[in-house]
A and B are shown apart, each in its own frame.
Chain A
């Protein structure tokens, strides 16, 4: 059963469409990464799923109901979102922030706080529960945001560059967490530039890659795709080479980095 489907979706923009006849569907328990150059329309695609944008053509459906027909609570029960930019203004505690994400449940404040504690525990951030979010480091804040994402208990997670501005260890943690949640049965759609961290989440043949460029879906394949190097070149407009790995992971680097030419800076 599909948790999310795009049927020939078009979203207008000022000079060209931000999305142009995009079609794909995501099944229950699937994990897909949305990649592509900046400005390709990746974030817009996520915003359509949340009803933050309205398509002028086609349909966006969450589990067979159009997003535009859902009430806010119904939508929040189907999909949760980790935005790319989220800065904490108010000096709330981490636990309070996560409890806010329980909005869709009509439960007591105590129940929400208790549940928030459990989700903080799950992302390994229980120690932060009473700390003020405005005083946490970037990596700690990201954990709190992930706990809030999970606390909404939606079957589909949308993440927009979840490891942005994190150090390599923290990046890895984020993708490992994503792996756990996916293995638990959640569906994942994640915008990312970290192609090389995708294999942290799952085996190359099980992880889907959607390539978006200039509002059009250029490919819809698995990480195991033999023609990945060509696809990445097509997507980003620069040559890539694959660094040979042992095991399941696949690593791609821009060609200029892998074979530096003599005499060039």
Chain B
């Protein structure tokens, strides 16, 4: 029942993303709707779903509310990789996005591998893994700033713009490249639902019950890294979706991963698309970066949730 309500809200968000805004009428109007708004909405759906799903999966994997791609180093690594691509020369546009994604993926895999080095040790505690994630995040962020410091002005502006988080106008070409990456990565993460669920009773008991803890860590980290890398390459690091969406869904439908993971993807899609529509229309002069909206909506919402709990 609550799932249906969520689904309706998401569909409303997607519909308004296409319909809200000035109607130019005629061919121009059709172009705006079908070649600009619809593909942009689809990118929002894919990226939001990915971030929501990976956030929920990481929270289950690390058994910690704070674990998200942004806190365990995945986003920071992807950002670093994508910045290298942006600043040192591959340029912009749809045709280079797979290249940027590859760089972002290498970055995300690099940081995930470092965190994984800790996570794969049999006796590593969850808190150790999170600490490693925070260390890697801080180091990557510092490197990213270093790269921006040595970049030339034009590249710097592009990088700064990108790093605020924005759904790009890429048309259907962008959707066609992004969709398969998101689907593969999402399928990989979702395939681990059962072992992830077993981790809810603690890694040691899960191990005793037959779960290969190292395997589930590896698959979820790699799957998450791939999906987040693609999202970051396309849209820049978008804050708060991976953190707040699983929290909201858990409060609505409970902690069963079988529903929590797919619904986090669904709500993530709706949340990001709705924020993007706001970003588009809230200020008539110019568009805001969607990352600014997700953070300014997400942070107070999260704060309220935490206050209400304690």
Could you tell me which A residues sit within 8 Å of B by CB distance?
Answer: 50-52, 71-73, 75-77, 79-81, 83, 86, 88-92, 96-97, 100-101, 103-104, 109, 148, 152
**Residues of chain B within 8 A of A100, CB atoms compared:** 197-198, 200-201, 209
Task: Give complex CA distance A97, B127 in Å.
Answer: 23
Task: Give complex CA distance A71, B211 in Å.
Answer: 10
Task: Give complex CA distance A180, B207 in Å.
Answer: 26
Selected contact of B208 from candidates A80, A88, A89, CB within 8 Å: A80
| Minimum Cβ distance to chain B for residue A70 (Å) | 10
Q: Is the CB of A103 within 8 A of B194?
A: yes
Most chain-B CB neighbours within 10 Å: which of A75, A90, A92, A148? Answer: A90
What are the 3 tightest A-B residue pairs by CB atom distance, in nearest-first order? A76-B210, A104-B210, A90-B255
Selected contact of B200 from candidates A73, A75, A89, CB within 8 Å: A89
- Check B195 for interface membership: any CB of A closer than 8 A: yes
**Residues of chain B within 8 A of A109, CB atoms compared:** 258
Produce 1/0 per residue, B100-122, CB < 8 A to A. Answer: 00000000000000000000001
Other CB < 8 Å A-B pairs besides A81-B205, A148-B201, 12 of them?
Answer: A52-B207, A72-B207, A76-B209, A76-B210, A77-B210, A80-B209, A86-B201, A86-B205, A100-B200, A101-B209, A103-B210, A104-B210
Task: Give complex CA distance A81, B200 in Å.
Answer: 16
| Minimum Cβ distance to chain B for residue A153 (Å) | 11
List CB contacts (< 8 Å) of B180-209 with chain A: 194-195, 197-198, 200-202, 204-209
Selected contact of B256 from candidates A52, A83, A92, A104, CB within 8 Å: A92
Q: How many A-B residue pairs have CB under 8 A?
A: 63
**Residues of chain B within 8 A of A88, CB atoms compared:** 201
Q: Is the CB of B209 within 8 A of A104?
A: yes
Q: Is the CB of A152 within 8 A of B202?
A: no
**Residues of chain B within 8 A of A52, CB atoms compared:** 122, 204, 207-208
A75's nearest neighbour on chain B, judged by CB, is B210
Task: Give complex CA distance A109, B193 in Å.
Answer: 12
**What is the size, in residues, of chain B's interface with A at 8 Å between Cβ atoms?**
22
Produce 1/0 per residue, B276-307, CB < 8 A to A. Answer: 00000000000000000000000000000000
| Minimum Cβ distance to chain A for residue B198 (Å) | 5
B200's nearest neighbour on chain A, judged by CB, is A90
Task: Give complex CA distance A164, B122 in Å.
Answer: 27
Task: Give complex CA distance A91, B201 in Å.
Answer: 11
Q: Is the CB of A96 within 8 A of B256?
A: yes
| Minimum Cβ distance to chain B for residue A149 (Å) | 10
| Minimum Cβ distance to chain B for residue A95 (Å) | 11
Task: Give complex CA distance A96, B207 in Å.
Answer: 18
Task: Give complex CA distance A89, B122 in Å.
Answer: 22
**Residues of chain B within 8 A of A97, CB atoms compared:** 201
Q: Is the CB of A89 within 8 A of B194?
A: no
Selected contact of B204 from candidates A75, A83, A148, CB within 8 Å: A83
**Residues of chain A within 8 A of B212, CB atoms compared:** 71-72
**Residues of chain B within 8 A of A104, CB atoms compared:** 209-210
Q: Is the CB of A50 within 8 A of B209?
A: no
Task: Give complex CA distance A125, B135 in Å.
Answer: 45
**Residues of chain A within 8 A of B122, CB atoms compared:** 52
Q: Is the CB of B256 within 8 A of A76?
A: no
Task: Give complex CA distance A51, B210 in Å.
Answer: 11
Task: Give complex CA distance A148, B210 in Å.
Answer: 13
| Minimum Cβ distance to chain A for residue B122 (Å) | 8
A46's nearest neighbour on chain B, judged by CB, is B208
- Check B63 for interface membership: any CB of A closer than 8 A: yes
Task: Give complex CA distance A163, B240 in Å.
Answer: 43
Q: Using known A-B contacts A52-B204, A103-B198, determine if residue A89 contacts B63 with beta carbons closer than 8 Å.
A: yes
Q: Is the CB of B195 within 8 A of A103?
A: yes
Task: Give complex CA distance A77, B208 in Å.
Answer: 10
| Minimum Cβ distance to chain B for residue A110 (Å) | 12
